[in-house]
Chains A and B, each alone.
Chain A
Amino acid sequence: MNAYAKYFVKKLFWYLVTLVIAVSLNFFLPRMIEGNPVAMIVSQMTKGMTDSDTIKRVYETFIQEFGVDKPLWQQFLIYVQNLFTGNLGTSFGLYPKKVTDILASAVPWTIGLQLPAILVGWILGNVLGAVAAYKKGVFDKVIFPVALFVNSIPFFTLAIIMLYVFALTLGWFPLSGGYDFQMIPQLSFEFIGSVIRHHTLPFLSIVLVTIGGQAIGMREMSIYELNADYVLYSKLLGIRDSRISRYVFRNAMLPQITGLALSIGTMVGGSLICEIVFSYPGIGTWLFTAIRQLDYPLISGCTLLIALSVLLANFTIDIIYGFIDPRIKASQMEDQ
């Protein structure tokens, strides 16, 4: 087995373990705590406290789908089995819609919003941070405190302020939703235009906050690298500045890639709340609705989906990282 395959298998194993733990937490946490939502639903059912026939029917579906009357370990097996068949139960709030259907309709919006926003923010932030470290002086003195302040604004706060300024006061962008109400999703210029107009504000608010955090990290890494001995040595050798800055950038970049992997969970969480502010039709908004309606299957479906996608994103970054960083290959070679 070559070095990279070994690295890949090792990572894959750990991510599988993490996956199992994430799924178990998603199942056990809400069921282990006293007064948990599942027990509440069951007890309301058995005590006949449910007043209307509809609620009764909703809960009966739930009990049947999740086998809540059986022992816990059996429930877990049913749960895992359901997962493999892509069945996350039936929503309470939107009965009798399937949770999977609701999530499937929301996923494209969330991915379309978050993936480009996080990537653009990450790239811009790194470039700004590197430039700030390299140019120093006024540029650094301005960028650094601004980035620090932007970074301390929570995602949704910036979103609310932008919503108020650009959508309400100035009226440049629409207030909420993913596209104009009266439109039917289709492939026309009008519809796409409407989607883009609704996309702009949430996109910008995620990008701005991401830039802040990344710029700070990159600036720190670049300063650290610029002070390294190899920079001084290369300068004394008379190597051109542009070439040295390329080395510095590459070295400073590596920790930033791991940084992206580690902070992606926080970013996704923040962006989800950003969606709520703009009532963007993604996962975050559904989660918000689900929590308000105590729609337990939908809440659990959302958390599971988010956990899985964060794991997947992390795994992808780790795999790419293995390609980029020669040290990983080297360390694997040593092991052999």
Chain B
Amino acid sequence: MKNSFNILIKSPKFMLGAGIFIVMLALVLIFPMINRKDPLEMIALAFQPPSSQLWLGSDNFGRDLFLELMYGIQTSIRVGLIAGVFATAIGLIIGLASGYIGGIVDNLLTSITNIFIVIPSFIILILISVSINSRSSLVTAIIIGITSWPWTARAVRAQTSSLRNRDHVHIAKISGHSTPRIIVFEILPYIASYVVMAFVLQTASGILSEASISMLGLGPYNTISLGIIMNWALVFEAPVAGAWWAFIPAALSIALITFSLYMMNTGMDEIFNPKIRS
């Protein structure tokens, strides 16, 4: 564990991604402590351009966009992380069960996984979100998580079913170890690197999903997320008003967060799968 961490630090791609991510996270966590104003307070006229007081101008309601952005990034990252945890956990459980148990359980779970890979998760996300009246950001995150597990499940299953027939697993079985114990000590360590990578990717796609669903107007209520800022900008026609500050910073923030996560993933990928190092 410590060893792979040491290798990770030497990967420029991973460090770049992690660096960007940590700096952004620190900024959005610390800034609201310094500027304790309410981000939803209307303090200026609509669509004021950036100035020394309003670093990113004001939106259609005359709210401070920089402050909104800080809270938005916070919510988006939180939603992404929670969605990532749920998606990875569900995918891991289904993948392990189907790969390790095999037989009819495997057939059943694999079919379910394949079916949910084909049905766009985006659609299920819309159908559930439309039906829930009071969506908090936690609810949105959980919905995203439970609609995006199939990828992880498929990959975990593939790796588990090949690991199951390795000698060390057979030995553990003969030694009379219980199934949970075999899974935790003989299988999990081998797929740990993959699970971490899957989590990073799921987090990135969770952030993108939140932004998409919020853009459609199905985002969480009573909160600010990057997608919601974009939705406001679009609904109140900020582009037509020429107010680039109302949507470009939010758009770039989404791109920057996902980019940093993808970078971390690529860095890890190159370390754990030496074959794709160029």
> Are A and B associated in one complex?
yes
- A30 sits at the interface (CB 8 A): yes
User: Which listed residue (B117, B132, B211, B255) contacts A262, Cβ 8 A?
Assistant: B117
Complex contact A18–B115 (CB within 8 A): yes
How many Å lie between the Cα of A310 and that of B121 in the bound state? 11
Complex contact B115–A269 (CB within 8 A): no
User: Which listed residue (A26, A136, A265) contacts B121, Cβ 8 A?
Assistant: A265
Complex contact B254–A154 (CB within 8 A): yes
Q: Which 6 pairs across A and B sit closest by C-beta, in order of nearness?
A: A265-B120, A269-B122, A152-B258, A157-B251, A152-B259, A33-B131
- A41 sits at the interface (CB 8 A): no
In the complex, besides A168-B240, A269-B212, 12 extra interface pairs with C-beta distance below 8 angstroms are A17-B115, A29-B124, A29-B128, A133-B278, A152-B261, A156-B211, A156-B212, A220-B276, A224-B276, A269-B123, A273-B216, A306-B123
User: Which listed residue (B115, B131, B217) contacts A29, Cβ 8 A?
Assistant: B131
Contacts of B218 in A (CB 8 A): 291
How many Å lie between the Cα of A184 and that of B218 in the bound state? 34
Chain A contact residues, CB within 8 Å of chain B: 14-15, 17-18, 21-22, 25-26, 29-30, 32-33, 35-37, 133, 136, 140, 148-149, 151-154, 156-157, 160-161, 163-164, 168, 175, 220, 223-224, 227, 262, 265-266, 268-270, 273, 276-277, 287-288, 291-292, 296, 299-300, 303, 306-307, 310-311, 314
How many Å lie between the Cα of A296 and that of B127 in the bound state? 10
User: Which listed residue (B122, B216, B252) contacts A266, Cβ 8 A?
Assistant: B122
Contact flags B260-278 to A (C-beta < 8 A → 1, else 0) = 0111001000000001111
Complex contact B115–A276 (CB within 8 A): no
Contacts of B29 in A (CB 8 A): none
How many Å lie between the Cα of A154 and that of B115 in the bound state? 25
Complex contact B118–A288 (CB within 8 A): no
Contacts of B121 in A (CB 8 A): 265
How many Å lie between the Cα of A274 and that of B29 in the bound state? 31
User: Which listed residue (A35, A299, A307) contacts B119, Cβ 8 A?
Assistant: A307
Complex contact A303–B126 (CB within 8 A): yes
Nearest Cβ on chain A to B210's Cβ, whole angstroms:
10
Contacts of A133 in B (CB 8 A): 278
- B248 sits at the interface (CB 8 A): yes
Complex contact A168–B118 (CB within 8 A): no
What is the interface residue range for chain B against chain A? 35 or more
Complex contact A25–B119 (CB within 8 A): yes
Within 8 A of A (CB), among B113-148: 114-115, 117-124, 126-128, 130-133
How many Å lie between the Cα of A306 and that of B125 in the bound state? 13
Complex contact B216–A288 (CB within 8 A): yes
Complex contact A37–B262 (CB within 8 A): no
Contacts of B261 in A (CB 8 A): 152
Complex contact A276–B255 (CB within 8 A): no
Contacts of A154 in B (CB 8 A): 208, 211-212, 251, 254-255, 258
How many Å lie between the Cα of A136 and that of B277 in the bound state? 11
How many Å lie between the Cα of A151 and that of B254 in the bound state? 12
Complex contact A266–B120 (CB within 8 A): yes
Complex contact B217–A291 (CB within 8 A): yes
How many Å lie between the Cα of A290 and that of B97 in the bound state? 40
Complex contact A152–B131 (CB within 8 A): no
- B244 sits at the interface (CB 8 A): yes
Complex contact B118–A175 (CB within 8 A): no
Complex contact B276–A156 (CB within 8 A): no
Q: Given A291-B218, A311-B119, are A223 and B126 also a contact pair (CB < 8 Å)? A: no
Complex contact B122–A148 (CB within 8 A): no
Nearest Cβ on chain A to B56's Cβ, whole angstroms:
15
Q: Given A154-B212, A168-B239, are A307 and B123 also a contact pair (CB < 8 Å)? A: yes
